[in-house]
Structure 1
Amino acid sequence: MTRIAMSMGLATSLMVGSVAAEAAESWRMATPWSGGPWLERDAKTFADYVNQLTGGDIEIEVFPGGTLGGALRVTNTVKSGVAEVSHNYINYDYGTDPTAALLAGHSSGLTPEEFMLWMYEGGGAKLYEEFRLEVFDVVAFPCSTLGTEIFLHSNKKVETLEDFQGLRLRTSGAWAEIASSLGASTVVMAGGEIYSALERGVIDAAEWGSPEMNRPTGFQEVAQYVILPGVHQSGGFLECQVNQKAWDGLSKEQQELLRLAGKLSVFDSWLASSFADLDAYQELIDGPNEMVQLDQSFIDAIYEETEKWENKYAAENEWFARVLTSQRSFEETMSRWPEYRLPIGSANN
C-alpha cells in the first residue's frame, strides 16, 4: 500500500509539474470483449484512471469487440490508428510470435500474484513493452490481471492422462499445441460457439476462464463435470496498447501517467476478480455439477510436456528465450517463498 501511495504522490507531482495541455485528447479504445467484467469493469477502470491522472487531458471512450475492427485483430486496429488505444489479450497474436503465450500466461506458469511480482519487480513489464514495440509496432503494458482458470467444463470425467486421450477439447493458443501433444483432439472456436457445441456433443469439453468469467457462459448447465485445478492457465495478464503516433504525441509525464494507470488497473482487477472468483466457485460447489481433481501424475505430465514446448521455442526464437529465461530466474527466486509465507487461504485451516 506504501508503494501505491507513493505512486499516487508521483502522479500528483507529475500533473502539477507538467506543461498545460494544448487541448484534451479524445481517444477511442478497441477491445475484443462483447461484454462482461473485462469490458465493463477492467477496460473502463483504465479509461477512468487515465482521465483522472491526466486531469482530463486524455479522455477514452471504450468500444465493445467488433465495433472498430475485428474482435481478434485489435493489435492491427491500434497499429493502423483506427483506435488510439486498446484493452486486449496478447495471446490473440500467438500465431505471429509464440512469445505472446509467456506474457499472457501459459500452462504450469506463474500464478496471478507471482505474475504481478515478476512484471513490476522482476523486469517483466519492461520486456513486455520492448517486445510489443519491436515485433508489433505498438506500445503496450499490463493493465489487468487474469485469475487461475478452470481446467475443464466437461461431459467426460477427466482425472488421468489416459482419460485425456482423444478428448474433443475446445481451446486455443499454446495450450492447443501442448494438449494435442498429450493426446487430446483440440478444436479452436469462438467463445460464443462453445455453449452450443457442448450441448450438442460437438465437443466433449472446453476451457475458457476463471470461475467469475465462466459463470455467465452457462457452461456448467451443459457439462456435468468441473475439472480442477487450472494448470493449463495458472495466471496471466491483459494489456493496454497505444498507437505509436498517439504515444509519441504525449509528453514524457503523460506517458508515465498512462503506465501508472495500467499498474493501478492491474491492482484493482486483481482485487475485484479474486473476490468475485470465490463467490462464483462456491456456486459451482453448491450446484449439481461434479467437482473433479486432476491426478497428480497427470499434472506432472503437463509440466513435463510444457517444458518440452518451452525449450523447443526458446531454441528458435530469441524473444521467447529472453522472456523464458527471465521467468525461470524469477521462479527460482520464488522457490524460497513457501519457506516463510503461508499459502493463500490457509489461515485457521
Structure 2
Amino acid sequence: MKRRQFLQAATVGAASTAVAAPAIAQAMPEIKWRLQSGFPKSLDTIYGAAEVIAKFVNEGTDGKFQIQPFAAGEIVGTPQVADAVGNGTIEMGHTCSYYYFGKDPTFAIGTALPFGLNARQINAWFYHGQGNELMNEFYAKHNLFGMPAGNTGVQMGGWYRKEIKTLQDLQGLKMRIAGLAGNVMAKLGVVPQQIPGGDIYPALERGTIDAAEWVGPYDDEKLGFSKVAPYYYYPGFWEGGPAIHLFINQGKWKELPKAYQSILTAAAGYANADMLAKYDARNPAALRRLLGSGTQLRPFSQEILDAANKAAVEVYDEVSAKNADFKKIYESVRGFRNEEYLWFQVAEYAYDTYMIRARARG
C-alpha cells in the first residue's frame, strides 16, 4: 500500500472509532438506583450482600450504573420493602420473600418452606427447575421482578429460655418466627410473633417472648441471644436453605439496557454464592465461641420433628385449597425435593455421614 493510501485508510479508521464512541456511550446510560436492605449493617454477612451487588454493578459498568445500598429502616421498614419496590418508592430491595407472606402465602416459597429444599437444592430449583420462572410469574402480580441473591444454608432452631424436650413444652410458648413456619408451629401450640431482627434481643430479655429464631451461630452471636436464652436448638427445620431475594421494580427492570440486566444478574448470582460461602466459613468458629461461653446445644426430639412435619403438610394442603398460585409452586417444590433426595441419599448423605463419623473417631 502506498503511503498516501495508508494514511487515508488510517484516517477513515480513526473517524469510525470517533463515531462509535458516542454510540457506546448512549448504550451505557448513567443510572442511579437505591437498594433497601431488610437487614442492619451490623449483620455484615447478610447485609453485606447488598454492598457486594452494588460494587459489582458499579465496577462492571465503569460507574455508569450506580446502586446505593441502605440498611433496614433507613428509607422504609423491612415489612414495607416489597411494597416500596412495587410502587416505585425505591428501585430495589434485598430481603426475604417470606417476610411478606401476610400479603400472600406464596411469598413464603421464595425463601423457604418448613421441611423444604436445602441450599443447594433450592439453587438447583431456581436455576434449573423453573423456580425463577414460577416465582417471577407470581411476583409480577405485585409489580416485582426477583432473583436469588443470597442463602444462609440450613439455619438453627433458635434460642429458648427453657428446655424443649417434648411437644408439651411448646404449649403456649411465645416465639419469634417468620413466614409460614409460624403457622406450622402454631399447630404445635406455639404462639408465633413477627418481630424484626433488631428487636429480638430486648423482647427476649424482657420476657415478652420465650424463644426466637434468627439465622445461625455467626449472626446469632453478634445479636447476643446467648445472654438471655441459654438453650440453642437444631436443626431449623423451617429453613433448610433459605434464599434472600433481590427484588426490582418490574417497570425499572424492563427499562434497563440488556447489558445492565446481565451485569445485575451476574452480581446477584455472585452474592448468592458468596453469602453461603461466608456463613459456612464463619459459623464453625462462632459455634465454638458460643459453646465456650456456656450455650447449651440441644437437638429437637424425633417426636417434635415428626409432629412438625405432619403439621407442615396440613398447612400446605390448607393453603393450596384456597390459593392457586401457592398450590402450583408448592407442587413444583415438593416434586423437585423428592427427586433431589433420591440423589442426595446416594452420594452426599453417604459421604457426609462417613466424614462426620471419621472426624468423631479422630
The 5 A counterparts of 1:1-349 are: 20=25, 21-35=27-41, 36-38=43-45, 40-133=47-140, 135-336=141-342, 337-341=344-348, 342-344=350-352, 346-347=354-355, 348-349=358-359
Decide whether the 8 Å contact of 1:168 with 1:187 is kept in 2. yes
Mark the runs of 5 or more structure 2 residues left unpaired by the alignment: 1-22
Residue identity opposite 1:176 in structure 2: G
Kindly provide the amino acid, as one letter, of the partner of residue 268 in structure 2.
Answer: G
**Distance in 2 (alpha carbons) for counterparts of 1:220 and 1:328:** 35
RMSD: 1.9
Deviation at 1:81, TM superposition (A): 2.2
Say if 1:52 and 1:129 are closer, same or farther in 2 by CA, change over 3 A.
farther
Equivalent-residue separation in structure 1 for 2:305 and 2:196 (angstroms): 27
Q: For the residues of structure 2 that align with 1:170 and 1:232, how far apart are their CA atoms? A: 13
- Cα distance 1:187–1:81, how it changes in 2: closer, same or farther (>3 A)? closer
2: CA distance between counterparts of 1:58 and 1:279? 37
Secondary structure of residue in 1 paired with 2:322: coil
Q: Does the 8 Å contact 1:39/1:64 carry over to 2?
A: no
| Aligned equivalents of 1:89, 1:150: Cα separation in 2 | 17
- Offset, 1:343: 4.7
CA distance in 2, matches of 1:286, 1:318: 49
**Counterpart code for 2:125:** W
Counterpart contact for 1:68–1:77, Cα < 8 Å: no
The structure number with the bigger radius of gyration is 2
Q: 1:238 to 1:286 in 2, by over 3 A?
A: same
In structure 2, the residue corresponding to 1:339 is in which secondary structure? coil
3-state SS, counterpart of residue 285 of structure 1? helix
Aligned length: 331
Distance 1:60 1:294, change over 3 A: same
Asked if structure 2 preserves the Cα contact closer than 8 Å seen for 1:146 and 1:270, the reply is: yes
Offset from partner CA, 1:99-150 (integer Å, 9 cap, x none): 11111112111111221121112121222222211x2111111111122222
Letter in 1 for 2:109: L
The CA deviation at 1:40 is 4.5
Structure 1's 319 and 343: CA in aligned 2 closer, same or farther, altered over 3 A?
farther
Equivalent residue for 1:12? none
Distance 1:171-1:225 versus aligned 2 partners, 3 A rule: same
Contact 1:31-1:39 at 8 Å conserved across structures: no
User: Which amino acid counterpart does residue 80 of structure 2 have in structure 1?
Assistant: R
Q: Percent identity?
A: 27
Q: Distance in 1 between matches of 2:100 and 2:237?
A: 22
Structure-2-length-normalised TM-score = 0.86
Q: Give the 3 Å change call, closer, same or farther, for CA 116–39 of structure 1 in structure 2.
A: closer
State the shift of 1:39 in Å.
5.7
Q: What SS does structure 2 have at the residue aligned with 1:173?
A: coil
Contact 1:68 1:82 in 2 (8 A): no
Task: Report the 3-state secondary structure (helix = DSSP H, G, I; strand = E; otherwise coil) of the residue aligned with 1:315.
Answer: helix
Give me the whole-angstrom Cα distance separating, in 2, the residues matched to 1:215 and 1:111. 23
Q: Measure, in 1, the Cα distance between the counterparts of 2:352 and 2:124.
A: 15
List per-residue Cα deviations over 1:304-344 (Å, max 9, x = no partner): 11011111111221111121111111112112221133354
TM-score by length of 1: 0.89
Query: How far off its partner does 1:221 sit?
Result: 0.7
What is the rounded CA distance, in whole Å, between the counterparts of 1:194 and 1:70 in structure 2? 15
Structure 1, unaligned stretches of length 5 or more?
1-17
Whether contact under 8 Å (2:37, 2:47) holds in the other structure is no
Aligned partners of 2:262 and 2:114: how far apart in 1?
32
CA distance in 1 between counterparts of 2:241 and 2:156 reads: 11
Deviates further, 91-100 or 165-174: 165-174
Over 3 Å counting, the alpha-carbon distance change for 1:110 and 1:194 in structure 2 is same
Q: Tell me, yes or no, if the aligned pair for 2:159 and 2:230 is still in contact at 8 Å.
A: yes
Q: 1:328 to 1:40 in 2, by over 3 A?
A: closer
Cα drift, residue 159 of structure 1:
2.5
